[in-house]
Amino acid sequence: MNTAANPASRWLFPGRGAGQPARPDHLSALLNEIGVPAAAARGAAIRQQLLDMPAPVVADALGYHHKTTTRLRNETGGTWSRYGPGACGRSPAGWAPRGTGDS
């Protein structure tokens, strides 16, 4: 993906250093300057994902603890109550439900 300001960049939000992305704290400050609360937006985004995907999948993808995503799913009113991980019993990132014998 290229940006309009720098079509040769591989970063959506290029930083000041050549070939480096913008820092998350810098992006957060820019969003706050224009009135977008980054923390609230992040919370809304994860809750939307939890309506579309099982909590363990979201936890694995975003690095959250599965109990956190399960709690957020319950607060959001999500309907994913069970998740069958498939024939192999493991996701590509190595997540496995407790009690299946996989570690």
Structural domain for 59, as ranges: 53-77
Closest by Cα among 93, 87, 88 to 66: 93
The two three-digit tokens of residue 91, written as one number: 């996701």
The percentage of the chain sitting over the pLDDT mark of 90, rounded to a whole number, equals 16
Any domain includes 101: no
pLDDT digits (tens, 9 = 90+) for 32-63: 899 988 888 888 999 999 988 888 889 999 88
Q: How far is CA 63 from CA 32, 68, 98, in A?
A: 24, 10, 17
Q: Tell me the pLDDT of the chain averaged across its residues.
A: 76
- 14 forms beta bridges with 21
Any domain includes 8: no
Residues 6 or more apart from 37 whose CB is under 8 A from it?
A: 31
CA separation for the pair 102, 48 (Å, rounded): 30
